[in-house]
Chains A and B, each alone.
Chain A
């Protein structure tokens, strides 16, 4: 029993080794993208307020809807919407990357590196592409 306690540390309070945390690692792209995935997730969490506001305004009437349209059309609104678009796409692509990893594929250094770069480049490219499409849908240059 004493031997078991010594081996497992059970029964005795003793200083345990603390696992190394963020500040001890050299920043790497996969690590940064992991953090960004969480940050975009949290941002989208509060971003759902915008979608709720938009839907409730549409259900309330033309005046309420006009207020939403005015805000979304303002500089601040456009910046928020642009950030929201990128966060949504980045979180989606990052999520797909995680789903690939869930199948035990893509763990090689080369694979995980290109998938991470693809998430970043893809999310920026898709965001710009969507905004061009949206700009044209709004009537394009007038």
Chain B
């Protein structure tokens, strides 16, 4: 080691401990799963109420504030939940760095695109044009 002699043992280990974020992945997965149960029930009710309706009626219902807010919450919550979940699956099965980072990055891209596209569609239905 080329470390200077005057460094104290404390200064060498500082910053090398746990990041204090060990349970945040687990916790965020739980928070989004509790929200997900409620929002999934909302989604099911909304989808069933839209079955068989004309495009104009679907646009009007999906664009109404209460429904649009519920749909946006469902999309945002689900996007984060599925990003966390897929990350866990990737880390469990993909061990080679090259493929692991490619998969993790693809996960982020996929969730970003699907989530943003869905959210944009709801906003457009809501604000019109």
Contact = CB atoms under 8 A, between A and B. Distances in A.
Interface of A: 38, 41-42, 44-45, 48-49, 51-52, 55-56, 58-59, 61-62, 65-66, 88, 92, 95-96, 98-99, 102, 130, 133-134, 137-139
Contacts of A139: 52
B70 interface: no
Interface string B105-129: 0000010001001101110110000
B82 A45 contact: yes
B37 A96 contact: yes
B85 interface: yes
Interface of B is mostly: helix
A92 B48 contact: no
B98 interface: no
A8 B36 CA distance: 44
Interface residues of B, number: 33
A42 B93 CA distance: 13
B82 A134 contact: no
Contacts of B125: 55, 58-59
B36 A45 contact: no
A84 to B, nearest CB: 11
Given A52-B114, A62-B55, A138-B51, 11 more contacts: A42-B89, A52-B117, A52-B121, A56-B118, A62-B56, A65-B58, A95-B37, A99-B33, A134-B51, A137-B48, A139-B52
Interface of A is mostly: helix
Nearest to B117: A52
Contacts of B120: 59
A125 B99 CA distance: 40
B30 interface: yes
Contact of A137 (B34, B49, B79): B49
B118 A48 contact: yes
A45 B85 contact: yes
Contacts of B114: 48-49, 52
A25 to B, nearest CB: 17
A58 B117 CA distance: 12
Nearest to A55: B121
